[in-house]
Structure 1
Amino acid sequence: MASLSVAIAFSVRLLLVLLFLPFSALDKILNFRGAVGQAREAVHATAPATVLILIGLGVEIGMSLCILTGVADRAAAFVLAGYCGVTALLWKQFWVPGDFWAGGKGRALFWDFLKNFALAGGFLLITFGTGAGTVQDFLADPLGSTHPYAIADRARP
């Protein structure tokens, strides 16, 4: 039963980071020029766009690995939640096309925008837990681990 619990805990975390590691990170590596081109839409210059893509690559790989291994996973999840919010604001600007009510590109971007924030909410669950007491745990030790694969001894009723 313990190995099933660990497998489920790992699988849930894997599902949460799967978008970033390997898919988005691999896409940035294999299509680096295209990724920089997309980043230029937000910053309009190649050098800052390249820096943004490299930072994004580091965040996607590094923070995902922290979440999967449980090393400083709360801080990593907090960073990825912020990353989801920032990327939504920079690249999912549903208000720009002006065709939201007509069902055009703006409407599709709106759903992507909301998905980014929903994903951020999932990461914030790792960061803060599900109760008010667990928020204090994070504030007391932001770089601590949630020890996601530890099996606690529980007294059976």
Structure 2
Amino acid sequence: MTIAALVVRCGMVLLFLPFSALDKLLGFRHAVGQAGRMFPRPLAVAVILVGLFIEIVCSLGVVTGIADRAAAFIIAGYCAATAILFKQFWAQGDFWADPDGKGRTLFWDFCKNLSLGAGFLLLVVGPDGAGLPAFLDAPFASTHPYAGPR
């Protein structure tokens, strides 16, 4: 079970660490340019740095099990925020008119972001919701996912 938990957790963060974080590091100017379409340059730089921090630190929290519920909660919020800010399918004007248009492509990316965020929320609350009281009581506690049965 320990190996399965590790593989699943690594798979959940794979998009962020290493790929998205590495892309931001190697293409920092490009990432700031993309964010600059939504924000003034100083804020765009801050947004990218915050994103990079979340992608590295919170991904490591999820994989190691250290403050993993808090890390998963933050990543879930990050997924929702990036969907709303950068996957604006409704603003393209071609959603209904062109099945191959940018609106449809962004719609699926929007849905994927929200779905991934929902998956991270499962780490927060557990598959049956029973973990929610524990998260609310001690949000930065570690779940010790590799400790085995207690």
Q: 1:39, CA displacement in angstroms?
A: 0.3
Quick one: distance in 1 between partners of 2:130 and 2:21?
34
**Which residue of 2 is the match for residue 116 of structure 1?**
113
Q: 1:132, CA displacement in angstroms?
A: 3.2
Q: 1:145, CA displacement in angstroms?
A: 1.2
Q: 1:127, CA displacement in angstroms?
A: 0.8
**Which residue of 1 is the match for residue 36 of structure 2?**
40
Amino acid at match of 1:143: F
**Which residue of 1 is the match for residue 23 of structure 2?**
27
Q: 1:133, CA displacement in angstroms?
A: 2.3
Quick one: distance in 2 between partners of 1:35 and 1:132?
36
Which stretches in structure 2 are left out of the alignment for 5+ residues?
none
What are the residue-to-residue correspondences of 1:7-22 with 2, within 5 Å? 7-22=3-18
**Which residue of 1 is the match for residue 84 of structure 2?**
89
* 1:94-120 Cα shifts (integer Å, max 9, x gaps): 001110012210000000000000000
Quick one: distance in 2 between partners of 1:61 and 1:132?
27
Runs of 4+ in 1 over 3 A off after TM superposition: none
Partner of 1:51, secondary structure, is: helix
Q: 1:20, CA displacement in angstroms?
A: 0.2
**Which residue of 1 is the match for residue 45 of structure 2?**
50
Q: 1:140, CA displacement in angstroms?
A: 1.2
C-alpha RMSD of matched pairs (Å): 0.9
TM-score by length of 1: 0.92
**Aligned residues: percent identity?**
55
Q: How many residues align?
A: 148
Which stretches in structure 1 are left out of the alignment for 5+ residues?
none
Quick one: distance in 1 between partners of 2:130 and 2:123?
13
1:66 aligns with 2:48: no
TM-score by length of 2: 0.96
